[in-house]
């Protein structure tokens, strides 16, 4: 697989600059709706042959099937990785088709059975796939009504549907079921004029809370993940890895490995693997391989990366601009300049990248832990030269993704090894490999120059973001003179990142929201205005105002000027079409620099909430995961060598970190549903930083806010 | 060198002819097909491979199968009895205390081990007992609540 050396997000920049609308951008790429929403994969699209670009089918039959027993199966290229769409998509299908929820089953992420999908990311399943699936169900329902009309001999207007039974309203005995109409076969009729989807007032399931439908499988150990599968004759692979990114294999001696009985060593170019039917033996064999490498590493590490980025050959693109900055400076009584730093982060799902590949005849099947089954299929087509119809990717349960499983190197490796050996091959990355080959959240620098007038109104906002892209960089406040400039690698310039980077839950929004919301706090303090009041004073965005008021209410917020000593912070932002506002209370140990979050409240406007229980759990998950990048998570590296390769050195949140959590989902049933898997994570860094300031007067400009950095900031108070 | 190792696995007497140095985790998964016990890190840091050995939650990735000779091993598959979920499993479902589910078996085994020793744990004791089991999705708060609910049911059942 081709390694991505650059940040693919850079490729989205010109689009924003030229101000092209979404539609024209899609035309440019010749693809469907989904393409716009996956900026990190545009890189793949540019490098892939044009015939590989695919879009979601319009054929409603691809989305659903009605069996002879009346069971409805919905088919989706989306996958289940804990975000809960295995529960919410069938709810939507049941409502649209008017069938009982318990009759709805779901098949996910199987490239032979499911309609094409670009990938499960960006909180898009509910807001983008959902409407397509509902439209398909609506067409199926209308076709079934027409069929019933013919069979029952009454006009459609005289029919009603309940629980998959179509009944003549004037003669209830004159009825027919969906199953009787379809007899398990595909519907052949298509409608020229597509029917509209059901209004939210007609929903039976959507809008009500349902628990995870897969919970029983998961608490009993029955749920199957890629690594749990076993095929006759299957062997485990361990693959020879370089010590660092950028190292090139120069010589290899695998005689030591071959001495271990039952070991097969395979080499295909740079891919060197040992295969053994016993997992432990494969582990033993891989360390017996002697290999030498040449090194050509970038002279950069986790400490110098920020300076390195600022000095890099970058192109500056203006993402948005209003008024003019000089006027803003003149109107400002006080000007504030800050620089914020954000490190590389690892996704660190507990399930490592895993795939099982089997070649049967000329058909290759790969079971993979992936967020992109169709992307992996295309990757195998590219790398192995197989026709697409001869490659099937099946996605079992995925043990966490967070953006990290949008890349699928392990699936390509398993496919290659299965083809080379003719045996079913399991590739399950070690924790070390997982931390090494991650597509890391990009390190970034944000520089802001902003100004307020003597009444506390923001008059100037000059925002510069380096290597994080623009997601979440919206000013959101009502500032007359504002400009957002995004810096990314110049075309043909050398790579900036020593390893690959990619989307990490709410990609880079965490970086932008952290910088903006801390800067807002700095100005509120200087203006001597309560930080909630300062925000409300400078906002015109009704949704943001509503979220702030809702969170203040839930939190029991009492106004005060910072630093008040209470340890209370505020932050807000938008992501994936959803608005969020957070409040937090922290305790800071001034002797050790250790910070404990006591409580966090969040208010979220996500439009229609399909499954409030699922949405709530996602918000809790976002808050918890957010504490990781806030306090400990940071990839340490020297050149291409990743130093943090275990949970001992890359620490993720634990039970003792957890604050009391209160979530509010605003009632917006009449609005289109928006994303829920990511938004509530974006402001955690900022809300905690602002709370630390309120507690101590110490201002932090960098995540993670480790005890050492908190102590350093305290010295400056 | 293969040896015969005898132990009790999920309530059944078990004998296996195997190299005693083989990792318990992989023997459970591959030899016995008990794939509910997960690989997460291989060095005992994450807890997803937790099983009970003589009622004590331990990391099966750091043990050899030879270490469990003569002992009682319980995996996630051995908790439910006659199709009835163990109170801890039931409480995890009730509280929706999971997301991707990958750490869940290890969480349940650690919680079960904790409750075997102490049926009235305080919130802090639950946190201390579960601290070294990692969850990336962020189900922690619900897991704590589930353990509290399970404790109540197990206590009531005695």
Residue A296: pLDDT band with limits 50, 70, 90: confident
Sequence-distant (6+) residues with CB within 8 A of A85 are A76, A78, A120, A125, A126
Inspect the interface and report whether the beta carbons of B99 and A648 lie closer than 8 Å: no
Whether pLDDT at A182 is above 90: yes
Whether pLDDT at A48 is above 90: no
Q: Point out the residue among A224, A227, A348 whose CB comes nearest to the CB of B136.
A: A348
Which chain B residue has its CA at the smallest distance from A226's CA?
B35
Whether pLDDT at A619 is above 70: yes
Q: In this structure, are residues A357 and A227 in contact, taking their beta carbons and an 8 Å threshold?
A: no
Distance of CA B73 to the CA centre of its chain: 9
What is the structure's pLDDT at A168? Answer: 97
Whether pLDDT at A65 is above 70: yes
Inspect the interface and report whether the beta carbons of A215 and B92 lie closer than 8 Å: yes
**ipTM of the prediction greater than 0.90, yes or no:** yes
Q: How many CB atoms lie within 10 A of CB A3?
A: 12
The stretch B11-29 carries a mean pLDDT of 97
pLDDT tens string B64-118: 999 999 999 999 999 999 999 999 999 999 999 999 999 999 999 999 999 999 9
Task: Tell me which residue of A344, A371, A369, A337 sits closest to A356, measured CA to CA.
Answer: A369
Whether pLDDT at A39 is above 70: no
Sequence-distant (6+) residues with CB within 8 A of A700 are A518, A689, A692, A693, A709, A710, A713
pTM above 0.80, yes or no: yes
Task: Tell me which residue of A111, A110, A78 sits closest to A93, measured CA to CA.
Answer: A78
Measured N-to-C along each axis, helices A39-47 and A373-384 cross at an angle, to the nearest 10 degrees, of 20
The stretch A26-49 carries a mean pLDDT of 31
Q: In this structure, are residues A467 and A309 in contact, taking their beta carbons and an 8 Å threshold?
A: yes
Sequence-distant (6+) residues with CB within 8 A of A296 are A246, A247, A248
Residue A640: pLDDT band with limits 50, 70, 90: very high
Q: Where are the domains of chain B?
A: 3-77, 87-156
Whether pLDDT at A32 is above 60: no
Whether pLDDT at A7 is above 80: no
The stretch A475-482 carries a mean pLDDT of 98
Q: How far apart (Å, rounded) are the C-alpha atoms in residues A649 and A665?
A: 36
Q: How many CB pairs under 8 A join A and B?
A: 171
What is the structure's pLDDT at A14? Answer: 27
pLDDT tens string A522-537: 999 999 999 999 999 9
What is the structure's pLDDT at A268? Answer: 93
Whether pLDDT at A6 is above 70: no
Cis preceding linkage at A704, omega within 30: yes
What is the structure's pLDDT at A52? Answer: 55
CATH numeric code, B87-156: 1.10.150.120
Inspect the interface and report whether the beta carbons of A399 and B135 lie closer than 8 Å: no
Inspect the interface and report whether the beta carbons of B138 and A227 lie closer than 8 Å: no
What is the structure's pLDDT at A548? Answer: 98
Terminal-to-terminal C-alpha distance of chain B: 46
Inspect the interface and report whether the beta carbons of B141 and A84 lie closer than 8 Å: no
| Chain A residues near residue B134 by CB distance under 8 angstroms | 350, 647, 652, 654
Task: Tell me which residue of A37, A35, A157, A144 sits closest to A99, measured CA to CA.
Answer: A144
Whether pLDDT at A31 is above 60: no
The stretch B140-145 carries a mean pLDDT of 98
Whether pLDDT at B1 is above 90: no
pLDDT tens string A194-204: 998 888 889 99
Whether pLDDT at A22 is above 80: no
Residue A28: pLDDT band with limits 50, 70, 90: very low
What is the structure's pLDDT at B157? Answer: 64
**How far apart are the CA of A501 and the nearest CA of chain B, in angstroms?**
20
Q: How many CB atoms lie within 10 A of CB A324?
A: 14
The CA-CA-CA angle for residues A21, A27, A32, to 5°, reads 100
Q: How far apart (Å, rounded) are the C-alpha atoms in residues A466 and A497?
A: 12
What is the structure's pLDDT at B156? Answer: 86
Which chain A residue has its CA at the smallest distance from B137's CA?
A621
Which chain A residue has its CA at the smallest distance from B37's CA?
A221
| Chain A residues near residue B75 by CB distance under 8 angstroms | 221
Q: Which CATH number fits domain B3-77: 3.40.50.10490, 2.40.37.10, 3.10.20.30, 3.30.70.3400?
A: 3.10.20.30
**How far apart are the CA of A284 and the nearest CA of chain B, in angstroms?**
11
List the domains of chain A with CATH numbers.
8-52 (no CATH), 60-218 (3.30.365.10), 226-295+353-428 (3.30.365.10), 305-345+440-715 (3.30.365.10)
**How far apart are the CA of B104 and the nearest CA of chain A, in angstroms?**
6
Q: How far apart (Å, rounded) are the C-alpha atoms in residues A450 and B20?
A: 67
Whether pLDDT at A16 is above 50: no
Which chain A residue has its CA at the smallest distance from B103's CA?
A350
What percent of chain A has a predicted confidence (pLDDT) above 90?
Answer: 88
Q: In this structure, are residues A655 and B148 in contact, taking their beta carbons and an 8 Å threshold?
A: no
Tokens of A328: 């803003």
| Chain B residues near residue A232 by CB distance under 8 angstroms | none
Tokens of A616: 């709530």
Inspect the interface and report whether the beta carbons of A350 and B103 lie closer than 8 Å: yes
DSSP secondary-structure letter at A127? Answer: I
What is the structure's pLDDT at A112? Answer: 96
Phi-psi region of A32 (alpha: psi -120 to 50; beta: other; left: phi over 0): beta
Q: Point out the residue among A211, A212, A623 whose CB comes nearest to the CB of B138.
A: A623
Q: In this structure, are residues A489 and A313 in contact, taking their beta carbons and an 8 Å threshold?
A: yes
Inspect the interface and report whether the beta carbons of A220 and B46 lie closer than 8 Å: no
Whether pLDDT at A34 is above 50: no
Q: How far apart (Å, rounded) are the C-alpha atoms in residues A681 and A626?
A: 5
Inspect the interface and report whether the beta carbons of B41 and A228 lie closer than 8 Å: no
Task: Tell me which residue of B79, B92, B89, B76 sits closest to B140, measured CA to CA.
Answer: B92
Q: In this structure, are residues A439 and A404 in contact, taking their beta carbons and an 8 Å threshold?
A: yes
**How far apart are the CA of A280 and the nearest CA of chain B, in angstroms?**
7
Strand partners, A603: A581, A664
What is the structure's pLDDT at A250? Answer: 95
| Chain B residues near residue A645 by CB distance under 8 angstroms | none
Inspect the interface and report whether the beta carbons of A227 and B35 lie closer than 8 Å: yes
Whether pLDDT at B26 is above 60: yes
Q: How far apart (Å, rounded) are the C-alpha atoms in residues A328 and A459?
A: 5
Q: In this structure, are residues A509 and A337 in contact, taking their beta carbons and an 8 Å threshold?
A: no
Q: In this structure, are residues A345 and A634 in contact, taking their beta carbons and an 8 Å threshold?
A: yes
Inspect the interface and report whether the beta carbons of B102 and A400 lie closer than 8 Å: yes
- Least confident window among A13-27, A548-562, A613-627: A13-27
Which chain B residue has its CA at the smallest distance from A211's CA?
B96
Mean of the per-residue pLDDT values for chain A?
92
């Amino acid at each position: 697989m081709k390694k991505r050396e650059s940040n693919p997000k850079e490729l989205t920049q010109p689009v924003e600059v030229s101000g092209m609308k979404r539609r024209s951008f899609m035309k440019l790429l010749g693809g469907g709706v989904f393409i716009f929403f996956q900026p990190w994969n545009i890189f793949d699209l540019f490098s892939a042959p044009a015939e590989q670009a695919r879009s979601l089918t319009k054929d409603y039959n691809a989305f659903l099937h009605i069996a002879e027993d009346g069971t409805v199966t919905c088919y989706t290229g989306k996958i289940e990785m804990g975000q809960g769409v295995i529960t919410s998509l069938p709810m939507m299908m049941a409502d649209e088709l008017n069938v009982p929820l318990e009759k709805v089953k779901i098949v996910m992420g199987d490239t032979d059975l499911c309609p094409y999908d670009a990938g499960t990311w960006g909180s898009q399943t509910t807001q983008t796939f959902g409407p397509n699936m509902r439209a398909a169900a609506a067409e199926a329902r209308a076709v079934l009504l027409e069929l019933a009309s013919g069979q029952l001999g009454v006009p459609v207007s005289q029919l009603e549907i309940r629980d998959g039974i179509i009944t003549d309203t004037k003669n209830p005995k004159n009825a027919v079921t969906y199953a009787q109409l379809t007899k398990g076969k595909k519907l052949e009729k298509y409608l020229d004029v597509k029917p509209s989807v059901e209004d939210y007032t007609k929903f039976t399931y959507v809008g009500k809370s349902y628990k995870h439908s897969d919970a029983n499988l998961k608490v009993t150990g029955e749920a199957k993940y890629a690594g749990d599968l076993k095929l006759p004759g299957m062997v485990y692979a361990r693959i020879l890895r370089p010590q660092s990114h950028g190292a090139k294999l120069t010589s290899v001696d695998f005689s030591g490995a071959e001495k271990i009985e039952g070991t097969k060593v395979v080499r295909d170019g740079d891919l060197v693997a040992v295969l053994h039917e016993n997992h432990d033996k494969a582990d033993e064999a891989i360390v017996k391989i002697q290999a030498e490498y040449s090194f050509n590493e970038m002279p950069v590490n986790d400490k110098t990366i920020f300076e390195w980025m600022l000095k890099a050959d970058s192109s500056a693109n203006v993402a948005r601009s209003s008024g003019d900055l000089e006027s803003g400076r003149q109107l400002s009584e006080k000007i504030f300049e800050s620089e914020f730093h954000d490190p590389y982060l690892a996704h660190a799902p507990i399930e490592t990248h895993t795939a099982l590949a089997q070649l049967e005849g000329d058909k290759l099947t790969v079971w993979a832990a992936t967020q992109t089954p169709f992307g992996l299929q295309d990757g195998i087509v590219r790398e192995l030269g197989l026709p697409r119809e001869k490659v099937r990717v099946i996605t079992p349960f995925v043990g966490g993704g967070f953006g990290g499983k949008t890349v699928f190197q392990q699936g390509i490796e398993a496919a290659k090894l299965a083809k080379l050996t003719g045996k079913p091959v399991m590739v399950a990355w070690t924790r070390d490999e997982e931390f090494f080959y991650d597509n890391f959240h990009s390190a970034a620098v944000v520089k802001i120059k902003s100004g307020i007038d003597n009444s506390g109104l923001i008059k100037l906002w000059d925002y510069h973001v380096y290597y994080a892209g623009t997601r979440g960089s919206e000013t959101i406040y009502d500032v007359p003179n504002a400009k957002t400039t995004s810096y990314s690698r110049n075309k043909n310039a050398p790579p900036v990142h020593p390893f690959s980077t990619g989307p990490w839950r709410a990609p880079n929004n965490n970086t932008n929201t952290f910088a903006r919301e801390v800067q807002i706090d700095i100005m509120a303090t200087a203006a001597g205005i309560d930080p909630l009041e300062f925000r409300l004073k400078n906002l015109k965005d009704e949704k943001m105002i509503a979220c702030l008021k809702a969170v203040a209410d839930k939190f029991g917020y009492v106004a005060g000027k910072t630093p008040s000593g209470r340890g209370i912070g505020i932050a807000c932002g938008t992501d994936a079409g959803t608005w969020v506002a957070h409040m937090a209370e922290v305790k800071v140990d001034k002797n050790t620099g250790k910070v404990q979050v006591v409580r966090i409240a969040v208010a979220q406007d996500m439009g229609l909430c399909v499954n409030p229980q699922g949405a709530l759990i996602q918000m809790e998950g976002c808050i918890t995961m957010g504490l990781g990048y806030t306090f400990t998570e940071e990839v340490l590296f020297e050149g291409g060598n990743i130093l943090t390769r275990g949970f001992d050195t890359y620490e993720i949140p634990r039970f003792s970190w957890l604050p009391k959590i209160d979530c509010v989902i605003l009632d917006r049933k009449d609005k289109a549903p928006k994303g829920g898997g990511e938004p509530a994570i974006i402001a955690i860094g900022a809300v905690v930083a602002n709370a630390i300031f309120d507690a101590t007067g110490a201002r932090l400009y960098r995540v993670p806010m480790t005890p050492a950095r908190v102590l350093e900031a305290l010295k400056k108070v | 060198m293969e040896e015969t190792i005898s132990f009790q696995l999920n309530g059944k007497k078990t004998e296996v002819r195997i190299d005693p140095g083989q990792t318990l985790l992989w023997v459970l998964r591959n030899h016995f097909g008990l794939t509910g016990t997960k690989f997460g890190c291989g060095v005992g840091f994450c807890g997803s491979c937790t099983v009970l050995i003589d009622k004590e939650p331990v990391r099966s990735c750091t043990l050899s199968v030879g270490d469990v000779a003569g002992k009682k091993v319980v995996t996630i598959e051995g908790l439910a009895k006659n199709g009835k979920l163990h109170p801890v499993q039931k409480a995890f479902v009730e509280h929706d205390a999971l997301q991707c589910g990958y750490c869940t078996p290890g969480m349940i085994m650690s919680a079960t081990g904790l409750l075997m020793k102490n049926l009235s744990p305080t919130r802090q004791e639950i946190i201390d007992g579960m601290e070294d089991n990692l969850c990336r999705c962020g189900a922690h708060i619900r897991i704590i609540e589930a353990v509290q609910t399970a404790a109540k049911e197990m206590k009531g059942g005695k």
